[in-house]
Amino acid sequence: MRNFSSKIAIAFCLLLALFISSAAQEKTDRLTAMDAFNLEFASDPQISPDGKKIIYVRRFSDIKTDRTYSNLRIINFDGSDSRPLTTGNRNDSSPRWSPDGDRIIYISDEDGSTQIYMRWMDTGQTARLTNLQYPPSGIAWSPDGKLISFTSFVPERPPQVARIPSPPPGAKWAEPATVIDKLVYRFNGPGYLKPGYTHLFVVPSEGGTPRQISSGNYHHGGPGFRASEAVWTPDGKHLIMSVNRRDDYELEPLDSEVYEFSLADGSVKSLTDRRGPDGSPAVSPDGKRIAYLGFDDKYQGYQVSRLYVMNRDGSDSRLISANLDRDVSNAQWATDASGIYFTYDDQGNTKLAFYSLDGKMKQLTGNLGGTGSAYSGGAFSVGKNGAFAFTYTRPNVPSDIAVATYSNPSARVITSINADLLAGKRLGEVEEIWYESSHDKRKIHGWIIKPPDFNPSKKYPLILEIHGGPFADYGDRFDFEKQVWAAKGYVVLYTNPRGSTSYGAEFGNLIHHNYPGDDFYDLNSGVDAVIAKGYIDTGNLFVTGGSGGGVLTCWMIGRTDRFRAAVTVYPVINWYSFVLTADISAFVAKYWFPGMPWDNVEHYEKRSLLSVVKNVKTPTMILTGEEDYRTPMSESEQYFQALKLLGVEAVLVRVPGEPHGIRRRPSHWMAKIENISGWMDKHKKNGP
């Protein structure tokens, strides 16, 4: 097995070297996959209390180490005096201003382990505040600036069943067996989880010994358990946090409540009590109210997350966003407690808005995002004077920081962090498209990226790229992968078929207990709509997508043979086995299906991709990370072997060390992009 793995690794490296060589020969005025090492991304902008400065995280890649790192940068609100606060191949994140604005805290692995640091803004002096065994997260200042709250993992002894004798002196025995007694024992990204729980702590801002505030066998943070970051009450006596503290939290993963934790004695009090998520609490500056997000759980695949406000003691909860049929997120109070800033996605665009306490909404700005993909996202923060900073993206702007004010919300972009890369590059033009689904004439929204030298009188190959989720949305945001394919001469179509978010509850739930299903018609009609424009070579149609998009890629080629080749990326193939191997099994069984697979065998089989695999004639690549625990490798292996048994041309590409998404290493992201287009190049009707 070791020799076999080594051969796979060598083959992968040879393929990667070939891609790098071919990328070097591509036109220099276009993006190439190698630019995965050159792109930079802005995130987590934190505006100073006086609204005059912004600190943000700037993420970059290093080609020599094949790693992604992040440093902190600072810039004035007017865009002047941009400079680094930290430098080097390390990971600095979560900058947070002190209440008086004279210091910041942040998380860094500067000394080799991830710890909390402080920086004095007048002198630039830094100090390490903690010496934790496990990384901290969710750092926040107390109102008086004397304490810092955070969460961190607290290990426990692993469960034991057998009593194994210890090895004799000098003996070297193999690693002992691992005993697992939790439903969620591994999670995409972190991998296999250690026994223990994540808890809430405070530490003096001058450094010292952390004090654990929360207790019990519950996860107050950590991967996959949906706890919010803790926020302080203005009197500094309590921390407010959303946590799932049910004894059966693994079986009811969404049922969180807003809790009050006392700093004096660690006592905990529930402020909400309903079936469903009550999350992301924010305490008003006057201490009188708490804003939070959630919904009454109906075990539907998609449920709109709404904004609520209750009294500080949990009484008189009322719905604020009743008239907004969109998901509310990132709630932040105005300094005068008059209302709440928040973000929401609308028809593929992330917007920033404000709700007054009487339920009146004011839209402020849009175009939040900047992760390098067309998926939704974005972050913001607000100063005491109503000035705000946010991450910004457009189809031709990968990631920047923009600013505005409540009174003048017209956005002004103050950074240009990818100007050096894009100065000599020609991007593909992005065109919005609306079309009708052949299934029910429902309007479907999408976008087309054209090659940089597009000529409407020519014929181009088409890639249909399908988003995952499935409850997610694409939008008018910069997408590196799609731009690289357009640079190679492909027209790329990406759409929001039924089930996508940002179009309301009814549209999102059209696939409830029916996915994959009628989304086939939405996607197929999109291909027809682009063909009708007259510039597509109908003999060279291709399809790809990742995760839920991988599901729908297999669904498409199982129902039509119009595509010359397909690449399904980390798909789900067999829903029965998926529920029994994925890291979100309880969620999927309760929300995406009517029950457990053994009680609903026909339902699971009807929606599995194995139900249509016998129809597949399309040459297919399956591409998955070997450490993907969201859609485990076993799903891809099932599909690959099914295609081989049927005599269909197929290859399985296994990417070592990669979780879901395949972006942990820049070279792997590059190889993902190149493998997809390489497979399509190979199968073009008239050759590559």
* Structural contact between residues 283 and 333, judged by C-beta atoms closer than 8 angstroms: yes
pLDDT above 50 (res 8): no
Query: Tell me: the pLDDT tens digits for 243-296?
Result: 999 999 999 999 999 999 999 999 999 999 999 999 999 999 999 999 999 999
> Does some domain include residue 627?
yes
> Does some domain include residue 655?
yes
pLDDT (0 to 100) of residue 28: 83
397-405 and 430-436 as β-strands: parallel, antiparallel, unpaired? unpaired
pLDDT above 50 (res 21): no
Q: Of 488, 477, 301, 517, whose CA–CA distance to 378 is shortest?
A: 477
pLDDT above 70 (res 450): yes
Q: Band of the pLDDT at 18, cuts 50, 70, 90? A: very low
Query: Tell me: the pLDDT tens digits for 342-378?
Result: 999 999 999 999 999 999 999 999 999 999 999 998 9
536-546 and 565-569 as β-strands: parallel, antiparallel, unpaired? parallel
pLDDT (0 to 100) of residue 686: 80
Q: What mean pLDDT is predicted for residues 394-402?
A: 97
How many structural domains does the chain have? 1
pLDDT above 60 (res 6): no
* Structural contact between residues 110 and 60, judged by C-beta atoms closer than 8 angstroms: no
pLDDT above 60 (res 11): no
pLDDT above 80 (res 503): yes
Our CA dihedral for 624, 603, 552, 611, rounded to 10 degrees, sits at 80
> Does some domain include residue 500?
yes
Cis peptide leading into residue 176 (ω within 30°): no
Q: Of 95, 101, 126, 122, whose CA–CA distance to 111 is shortest?
A: 126
The Cα–Cα gap between 439 and 549 comes to 19
pLDDT above 50 (res 2): no
Cis peptide leading into residue 470 (ω within 30°): yes
Cα 359 to its chain centre, rounded Å, is 29
> Does some domain include residue 434?
yes
pLDDT (0 to 100) of residue 27: 65
> Does some domain include residue 23?
no
pLDDT above 50 (res 94): yes
191-192 and 186-187 as β-strands: parallel, antiparallel, unpaired? antiparallel
pLDDT above 80 (res 482): yes
Q: Of 618, 657, 655, 662, whose CA–CA distance to 639 is shortest?
A: 618
**Packing angle, helices 666-682 and 480-487, rounded to 10:** 40
* Structural contact between residues 600 and 632, judged by C-beta atoms closer than 8 angstroms: no
Quick one: how many helices (H) and strands (E) in the chain?
Answer: 11, 38
Q: Of 402, 484, 456, 427, whose CA–CA distance to 26 is shortest?
A: 484
The Cα–Cα gap between 274 and 257 comes to 8
Q: Of 513, 499, 525, 500, whose CA–CA distance to 440 is shortest?
A: 525
Give the rounded percent of residues in the chain with a pLDDT score beyond 70. Answer: 96
pLDDT above 50 (res 567): yes
- Strand, coil or helix: 669: helix
Long-range contacts of 536-541 (CB under 8 A, 24+ apart): 536/459, 536/460, 536/461, 536/462, 536/491, 537/459, 537/460, 537/461, 537/462, 537/685, 539/564, 539/685, 540/461, 540/462, 540/564, 540/684, 540/685, 541/461, 541/462, 541/464
> Does some domain include residue 518?
yes
DSSP states along 516-527: SSTHHHHHHHHH
Q: Of 542, 588, 570, whose CA–CA distance to 668 is shortest?
A: 570
Which tokens in the block code for residue 71?
A: 């440093």
Q: What mean pLDDT is predicted for residues 566-588?
A: 97
Q: Band of the pLDDT at 474, cuts 50, 70, 90? A: very high
pLDDT (0 to 100) of residue 13: 44
Query: Tell me: the pLDDT tens digits for 286-344?
Result: 999 999 999 999 999 999 999 999 999 999 999 999 999 999 999 999 999 999 999 99
In this prediction the pTM is 0.93
Which tokens in the block code for residue 313?
A: 């003691």
pLDDT above 60 (res 5): no
Q: Band of the pLDDT at 23, cuts 50, 70, 90? A: very low
Cα 612 to its chain centre, rounded Å, is 30
Of 184 and 23, which is predicted with more confidence? 184
Of 300 and 9, which is predicted with more confidence? 300
Q: Of 99, 93, 49, 77, whose CA–CA distance to 390 is shortest?
A: 77
* Residue 113, Cβ density class (10 Å: 0-12 exposed, 13-18 middle, ≥19 buried): middle
pLDDT (0 to 100) of residue 687: 66
Q: Where in the sequence is the domain holding 493, given as residue range(s)?
A: 426-573+617-682
> The dihedral of CA 412, 417, 418, 421: what is its sign?
positive
Strands (E) in 98-224, as ranges, are 103-108, 115-120, 126-128, 137-141, 147-155, 186-187, 191-192, 196-204, 211-212
pLDDT above 70 (res 24): no
Which CATH number covers residue 519? 3.40.50.1820
CA distances from 185 to 194, 244, 520, 575 (A): 8, 17, 35, 20
Share the mean pLDDT of the chain.
94
> Does some domain include residue 501?
yes
Query: Tell me: the pLDDT tens digits for 661-688?
Result: 999 999 999 999 999 999 999 999 986 5
> Does some domain include residue 562?
yes
pLDDT above 90 (res 144): yes
Query: Tell me: the pLDDT tens digits for 581-639?
Result: 999 999 999 999 999 999 999 999 999 999 999 999 999 999 999 999 999 999 999 99
**Helix then strand then coil, % of the chain, to nearest 5:** 20, 30, 50
